């Protein structure tokens, strides 16, 4: 087990988390759907590209800051924290610790609907940390939502988020039902009894998809499950692109679509008014055998043609992974599991550690590839691993 002073890589955080987290929690955070093919493919896709080193380039004045929102703050580098559910399973402070880390570090945080800390408390924690570290302006958070069959629940979440200062709504669109995650079923996954889904009233009895699926299997039931929990948070499998105008009617906040994995859906997203596209296969937790996100990214970027920003996640463990995604056209990269491992390692400071590791590695890639500005990044800096080096 790595001691706290021995953390130099995201892998070190993962190894520590694998020791300290209970098996049920570890498998929930780390697992994918069925055989885990897409989960693994997200990671190995980065190895299909080499980075071209360049010599004698003036990189003294390195600039990596970027704005996620045109009227917003600059963040240190193009990396933000993706929504991830039930973070108090990783650390007692959970999402509040992540909010303090993001606020103090100066980056954007995504909050899951299935948070174990309320969206109001998370925003206050991020604002307080930003103020404490002397950063100007309010913290920047986005809320990930699902559209439930009881749409009033979704509507209330969106209104709450807008009222307390969230900057965007991230609609997850790849979940007409939750993927079949065998580790969670085998472990009989349940939210620990001392925790709750903090964004829902207790009387709704909200549960995760894994809890419901596990319960049905244990009872020997054979009905088809469309989603999670009670009627109030049952996912709506009948959604179509018409949901975008409805969401737009509820809020002035930008609507981002998370879970876009092909050019066809990217074009439809733009046509129906999405303000940004989030290329994601849900961390390999939905459709197993789906391609890795890095492989579909260039086609989506080409199809969108700069009409809306392209956000990206999937298997990021290195600063070089972020570099490669940006070279292939992503505007922003988001990290998920590294944050959870950082929480397990040392709460708020573990998350900051993860961000610092990735920022340092990313800046190293920039400098050693001869780039001092983000707009210098592009596919010309990458070489496919099967190319002959004599052709570089």
pLDDT per residue as tens digits for the range 65-106 = 999 999 999 999 999 999 999 999 999 999 999 999 999 999
User: What is the rounded distance in angstroms from the CA atom of residue 100 to the CA atom of residue 133?
Assistant: 10
DSSP 308: S
- Position 175 scores a pLDDT of 85
- Position 219 scores a pLDDT of 45
Q: Provide the 3-class DSSP secondary structure of residue 334.
A: strand
User: What is the rounded distance in angstroms from the CA atom of residue 72 to the CA atom of residue 75?
Assistant: 9
Residue of 226, 208, 272 lying closest to 31 (CA atoms):
208
Are 176 and 157 in contact by the 8 Å Cβ rule? The answer is no
Q: Which helix (H) or strand (E) holds 34?
A: none
Beta strands per DSSP E along the chain: 49-51, 66-67, 74-75, 79-81, 109-111, 141-145, 168-172, 255-260, 276-279, 310-312, 332-335, 382-384
In degrees to the nearest 10, what's the CA dihedral of 86, 87, 93, 99? -110
The values of phi and psi at residue 170, to 5°, are -105, 105
287: Cβ contacts below 8 Å, ≥ 6 apart: 33, 38, 174, 179, 281
| Tokens read off for 23 | 């098996």
In degrees to the nearest 10, what's the CA dihedral of 291, 66, 69, 108? 70
- Position 223 scores a pLDDT of 39
User: What is the rounded distance in angstroms from the CA atom of residue 380 to the CA atom of residue 392?
Assistant: 10
- Position 222 scores a pLDDT of 37
User: What is the rounded distance in angstroms from the CA atom of residue 324 to the CA atom of residue 317?
Assistant: 12
Beta strands per DSSP E along 202-249: none
- Position 234 scores a pLDDT of 83
CB count within 10 Å of CB 258 equals: 25
CA distances to 113, 169, 250, 274, 367 from 154, rounded to whole Å, are 9, 11, 10, 18, 44
Residue that is written with structure tokens 């606020």 in the block:
103
148: Cβ contacts below 8 Å, ≥ 6 apart: 154, 227, 232, 233, 234, 235, 236
User: What is the rounded distance in angstroms from the CA atom of residue 285 to the CA atom of residue 174?
Assistant: 10
- Position 202 scores a pLDDT of 74
Encode burial over 32-42: b for 16+ CB neighbours within 10 A, e otherwise. Answer: bbeebbbbebb
Domains of the chain (ranges, CATH numbers): 4-372 (3.20.20.70)
User: What is the rounded distance in angstroms from the CA atom of residue 117 to the CA atom of residue 305?
Assistant: 38
Q: Which of 16, 131, 159, 282 is catalytic?
A: 282
The values of phi and psi at residue 7, to 5°, are -85, 115
Are 263 and 177 in contact by the 8 Å Cβ rule? The answer is no
Is residue 16 part of the annotated active site? The answer reads no
Q: Give me the residues paired with residue 145 across strands.
A: 171
Q: What is the mean pLDDT of each run of 10 residues along the chain (392 residues)?
A: 70 95 94 90 95 96 97 97 97 98 98 97 98 94 94 95 98 88 88 92 66 49 41 80 96 97 98 97 90 97 98 97 98 98 97 97 98 98 79 52
Look at phi and psi of residue 307 and say left if phi exceeds 0, alpha if psi is from -120 to 50, else beta.
alpha
Q: Provide the 3-class DSSP secondary structure of residue 243.
A: helix
| Tokens read off for 70 | 């045109």
Task: Please say whether the dihedral angle defined by the alpha carbons of residues 110, 116, 118 and 122, taken in this order, is positive or negative.
Answer: negative
- Position 263 scores a pLDDT of 97
- Position 203 scores a pLDDT of 63
- Position 211 scores a pLDDT of 58
- Position 93 scores a pLDDT of 98
Q: Provide the 3-class DSSP secondary structure of residue 294.
A: helix
At 133-150, the pLDDT tens digits run 999 999 999 999 999 999
């Amino acid at each position: 087990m790595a001691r706290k002073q021995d953390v130099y890589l995201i892998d070190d955080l993962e190894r520590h988390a694998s020791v300290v987290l209970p098996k049920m929690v570890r498998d929930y955070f780390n697992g994918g759907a069925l055989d885990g093919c897409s989960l693994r493919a997200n990671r190995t896709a980065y190895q299909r590209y080499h980075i071209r080193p360049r010599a004698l380039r003036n990189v003294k004045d390195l600039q990596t800051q970027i704005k996620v929102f045109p009227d917003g703050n600059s963040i240190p580098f193009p990396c933000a924290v993706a929504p991830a559910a039930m973070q108090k399973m990783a650390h007692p402070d959970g999402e509040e610790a992540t909010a303090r880390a993001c606020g103090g570090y100066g980056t954007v945080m995504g909050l899951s609907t299935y948070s174990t800390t309320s969206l109001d408390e998370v925003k206050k924690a991020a604002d307080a940390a930003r103020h404490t570290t002397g950063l100007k302006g309010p913290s920047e958070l986005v809320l990930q939502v699902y559209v439930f069959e009881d749409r009033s629940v979704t509507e209330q979440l969106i209104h709450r988020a807008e009222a307390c200062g969230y900057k965007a709504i991230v609609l997850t669109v790849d979940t007409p039902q939750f993927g079949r995650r065998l580790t969670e079923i085998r472990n009989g996954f349940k939210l620990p009894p001392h925790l709750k889904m903090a964004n829902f009233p207790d009387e709704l009895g909200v549960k995760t998809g894994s809890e419901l699926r596990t319960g049905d299997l244990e009872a020997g039931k054979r009905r088809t499950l469309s989603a999670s929990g009670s009627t109030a948070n049952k996912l709506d499998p009948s959604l179509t692109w018409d949901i975008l105008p409805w969401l737009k009617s509820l809020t002035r906040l930008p609507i981002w679509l998370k879970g876009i994995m092909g050019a066809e859906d990217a074009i439809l997203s733009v046509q129906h008014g999405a303000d940004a596209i989030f290329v994601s296969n849900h961390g390999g937790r939905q459709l197993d055998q789906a391609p890795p996100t890095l492989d579909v990214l260039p086609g989506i970027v080409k199809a969108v043609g700069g009409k809306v920003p392209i956000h990206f996640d999937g298997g990021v463990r290195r600063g070089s992974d972020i570099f490669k995604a940006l070279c292939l056209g992503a505007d922003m990269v988001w990290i998920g599991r590294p944050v959870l491992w950082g929480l397990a390692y040392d709460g708020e400071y573990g998350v900051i550690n993860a961000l610092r590791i990735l920022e340092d590695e990313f800046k190293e890639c920039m400098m050693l590839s001869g780039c001092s500005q983000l707009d210098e990044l592009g596919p010309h800096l990458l070489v496919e691993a099967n190319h002959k080096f004599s052709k570089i």
